[in-house]
Amino acid sequence: MSFQDKTLTCRDCGQQFTFTAGEQEFYASKGLANEPGRCPDCRAIRRGTRASGAPTGTRQMYDVVCSNCGQPTQVPFQPTSGRPVYCSDCFSRQPGRSYR
């Protein structure tokens, strides 16, 4: 199958971008039937916000005291009362857990 570059319009920013023949071939090899609706920049921004609910690098951190060693630390979730919260060192030492 022969592919040719296509010019598409981003649904987020409205800018035109090129959906190259190579990208089309890659999409076809993965079984993807739909063309991308966003330009590469908007796709990167969306990937960054989807994982954490906030843009990359702006994650809400909460100050807590480690339940094991008593040292102050920060965690990326709001702790629930009655549940232990650990610093990264103590968490990595918990049986059956891996932080890194």
Dump pLDDT digits (tens) for 14-72: 999 999 999 999 999 999 999 999 999 999 888 876 655 555 556 788 899 999 999 99
What's the confidence (pLDDT) of residue 50? Answer: 60
Its pTM stands at: 0.48
Say if residue 12's pLDDT is above 80. Answer: yes
The CA-based dihedral angle spanning residues 88, 93, 96, 100, taken in that order and rounded to the nearest 10 degrees = 40
DSSP 13-58: T--EEEE-HHHHHHHHHTT--SPPSS-HHHHHHHHHHHHHSS-TT-
Count other Cβ atoms within 10 Å, centred on residue 31. Answer: 6
pLDDT tens for 84-98 read 999 889 988 888 765
d(CA 45, CA 29): 25
